[in-house]
Amino acid sequence: MPCPSRSDELVFFVNGRKVIERNADPEVTLLTYLRKKVRLTGTKYACGRGGCGACTVMVSKRDPASEKIRHFSVTACLIPICSLYGAAVTTVEGVGSIKTRLHPVQERIAKSHGTQCGFCTPGMVMSMYTLLRNHPQPSEEQLMAALGGNLCRCTGYRPVLASGKTFCLTSSKYDLDPIPRHKLLLQVHLPMADHKNQQVHPKTKEWPMIAYF
């Protein structure tokens, strides 16, 4: 969208809806705008400093040179809304939901057990979704790079990556199937612990550790 020479109107799009802000505050970030103004709280506020990826959304802009639409995954906590003139913002609500229909990215993360508390999941979904908009069949290297800015404190990265790998060109037939949980779990350490019943070790009183790789 061409930028008018003088205007106090900020125009952009959120999940396909046109929004017009008059006299927009240049200090308001996209994350604050989404959560407080348009009440799209699927985009999470965590670090607020661009470090965790929980607030990832997709911003689409027309490249004036190639005339093509380009998609970027951005951390909404770092983006002032005033930088979005003419852009289209897609949040996790615009990708899919259980009220309407889940997007395959959302469905496969869930089926791969890639979500636990779920706080990082919208950001993971948006990073993967943006990757797929740019590269419908990405390589595993592209997948790793796309998720490089998304942190998870509970589930671990193995099942998240396993879900993303189902979209990759080089994925095997095994990866395309819903991944059985017992194949994702690797019991480590404490060989004397009762893993089956998850009881504490009788002598060390420690719980068996479960790790994802």
Q: How far apart are CA 164 and CA 158, in angstroms?
A: 10
Name the amino acid, one letter, at 43: T
Q: How far apart are CA 5 and CA 22, in angstroms?
A: 15
Q: How far apart are CA 201 and CA 208, in angstroms?
A: 7
Give the closest residue to 169 by CA, choosing from 149, 141, 127: 141
Q: Which is nearer to ligand FES, 77 or 193 (CB)?
A: 77
CB of 91 to ligand FES, least distance (A): 13
Q: Is 110 helix (H, G, I), strand (E, B) or coil?
A: helix
Q: Which is nearer to ligand FES, 51 or 172 (CB)?
A: 51
For residue 7 the two structure tokens come to 């205007």
On whether the CB atoms of residues 53 and 151 are closer than 8 A, the answer is: yes
Q: Is 170 helix (H, G, I), strand (E, B) or coil?
A: coil
Length of the chain counted residue by residue: 213
CB of 123 to ligand FES, least distance (A): 8
Q: Which is nearer to ligand FES, 120 or 131 (CB)?
A: 120
CB of 48 to ligand FES, least distance (A): 5
Q: Which is nearer to ligand FES, 94 or 123 (CB)?
A: 123
Alpha carbon distance, N-terminus to C-terminus of the chain: 45
Query: How do strand 68-75 and strand 56-63 relate by DSSP bridges?
Result: antiparallel
CB of 213 to ligand FES, least distance (A): 16
Tell the residue number behind the tokens 């661009």, with chain if given.
50
Q: Which is nearer to ligand FES, 38 or 110 (CB)?
A: 110
Q: How far apart are CA 44 and CA 53, in angstroms?
A: 9
CB of 204 to ligand FES, least distance (A): 27
Q: Which is nearer to ligand FES, 50 or 96 (CB)?
A: 50
Kindly list the residues in this chain that would bind ligand FES in the complex (CB under 6 A). 45-48, 50-55, 75, 77, 115-121, 152-155
CB of 50 to ligand FES, least distance (A): 5
